[in-house]
Structure 1
């Protein structure tokens, strides 16, 4: 009964979210940290709904939620996806007491993030009197100065990588967002936070060394950001289509041929993302290859949509108040997620080497 109630709550999040994101999609001007929109997600129950996924229905609901948010605001989608990732990691690897603390945090609307990228020489953690002292910083830290807690990684003395849930409530002086001068994804405020000298207690250490990069969760979890990106590609195609109708170009065969190719690519990307999500959340040994290949499939659909929309709409698509311009700037940056070429290479290698290829090439 408890699982049924949780799943019902997930479904309600999707239903409540649909009209909200439609309104957000029309409000294009604000590129600051999306504080009010995050509050709306809290009120809708989106920040508490997907800590654990019970069945395929729950996976579908999370996939739909990520697509809807990505459709309306990619910066918000990046922040929200990081929150879900962090909450799921704490739930998966934390102790019973840590899971209870997570539930309390989420119930009062606290927002989490995951920060792994770091400038040299990297983050370190050492045991000291009264706890564990951190040294180093995290860069490209989404939501720095705005989110409540960050799940970070730090190297221990023995070389193992330890997850640490850091409380950010008193870290304003440690944040530097000045270098985040970018064309797109401005609202993520992905700056730097200096952890030098911060001391945390035993209760901040999540799981064991190596848990953060434990497979298949580490690589396969990337399906979530492909879902956010897919939502933006779908929004771009929709705005492109609306432009053709509004400008009486819908009967132009050249325009139709151009958008037809993008519709095929986008619908195909949707099938890849759905399959990747199901494999990843079921723990399939084939999840990693599918997710890595999905990253490239979504990237190609996005690039095709951005170029096609610019050609179809022309100069009007480059004005600052254009929804197409905003999506294109944000998506262009978001698609640069780490090592996209390496991801596709790893996926191709997995397919070539798979023993199942002869019997089922599309496993």
Structure 2
């Protein structure tokens, strides 16, 4: 997959002047094809398999290409990006596990993967070691598209204190998708997240207990999600730039606000990618929290400015625009807002006390 200096859409002019193009043309074209397909999720899963074989892994020297590709998907369709990202993350996790000497089974070229690591009140997934391996029992909440994926990396409690990461076959007869779960979201309506119940499902450990959360790649995957929020914001900014009336001073103000916010976010992501690739990053958790928070703040800024710039008309008459707004509002809530900033503050204070 090649990059070119021709950036389709050009949401904000200053963003195309960096040392490498922000948007990856081939990825944009592929995302548009998926967006226009009769079944966008099926098309996005096919694209995920393709990109998994083409895009670089994080921290391997081309992290900016990976993150700018994720942003490129999101400028077109956040559903496509939301489907593709977990598959790429799973491939990166499996690669990291192999590099750390844990020897997971390599993913098959026709498989699509998810990563199910959320926890929820009143639910618990337990891992039990038996004579010939591991079995998982219990309920895992917030699993995206479990009925449409082939395999998943899933966290489960190995004792009262530790969680391990396991690989499972989602076609196993012991995996049951909760068909009664209500997914009423206006945002990302096709990427349903539901609970799954596992009954003695055979599982393969991926790393020792705690490895999934402790590895540096956990932080890099989190920034990848932030780059998608950034891409979603770019898509909204493009709509503001396409305003049909002759710009007055207020419209010029809005465009300036968008440019400053998006430019700062892009520079933060570029700097983070450079630090990851050159192994000059501060604490991975600190870097990830900073970069994700910048991306989340940018997405929220762009949502606000777009509301002010465009008024109610596109929110009532433009289906694609309404979907973009709803998708981004929901997706960015994966950021924990003030709680994540408080966590960053704790990390910084702890570093000062060392």
TM-score class normalised by the smaller sequence:
0.7 to 0.9
Q: In the aligned structure 1, how far is the partner of 2:350 from the partner of 2:313?
A: 47
Quote the Cα distance in structure 1 between the aligned partners of 2:277 and 2:197. 34
Q: Distance in 1 between matches of 2:59 and 2:288?
A: 20
Q: Which segment drifts farther, 319-328 or 187-196?
A: 319-328
Cα displacement (A) at 1:220: 4.2
2:266 — aligned with what?
270
Kindly indicate whether the alpha-carbon contact (under 8 Å) linking 1:41 and 1:47 is maintained by their aligned counterparts in 2: yes
Q: Does 1:49 align with 2:54?
A: yes
Match of 1:34 among 41, 45, 48: 41
How far did 1:311 drift? 2.3
The aligned residue for residue 20 of structure 2 is none
Alignment of structure 1 residues 173-322 onto 2, 5 Å = 174-176=176-178, 178-200=181-203, 204-242=204-242, 244=243, 247-250=244-247, 252-283=248-279, 284-319=281-316, 321-322=318-319
More helix by share: 1
Give the CA deviation at 1:55. 4.0
Equivalents in 1 of 2:344, 2:309: separation in Å?
33
Cα offset, 1:236, TM superposition = 0.4
Pairwise CA distance, 1:140: 1.2
**Distance verdict in 2 for CA 1:276–1:343, change over 3 Å:** farther
Which residue of 2 is the match for residue 19 of structure 1? 29
Aligned positions, number = 330
Give the TM-score normalised by the residue count of structure 2.
0.83
Q: What is the TM-score when the length of structure 1 is the normalising length?
A: 0.81
Structure 1 stretch displaced more, 300-309 or 128-137: 128-137
Q: 1:51·1:91 contact (CA, 8 Å) conserved in 2?
A: no
**RMSD, matched Cα:** 2.9
Q: Alpha carbons of 1:231 and 1:314: their partners in 2 closer, same or farther (altered >3 Å)?
A: same
TM-superposed CA distance for 1:318, in Å, is 1.5
Structure 1 gaps of 5+ residues are 1-8, 356-363
Determine the structure 1 residue equivalent to 2:340.
Answer: 343
Whether the 8 Å CA contact 1:10–1:50 is kept in 2: the answer is no
Residues 58 and 217, structure 2, Cα contact 8 Å, conserved in 1: no
Residue aligned with 2:190, SS: helix
SS at match of 2:149: coil
Instruction: Quote how far apart the aligned CAs of 1:133 are.
Output: 1.8
Aligned residue in 2 for 1:167: 169
Deviation of residue 307 (structure 1)? 2.0
Q: Report Cα offsets for 1:16-69 as digits up to 9, x if no partner.
A: 3232334566x5x97x76112322343xx302234634643x212211210111
Quote how far apart the aligned CAs of 1:321 are: 4.1
Q: Secondary structure at the match of 1:198?
A: strand
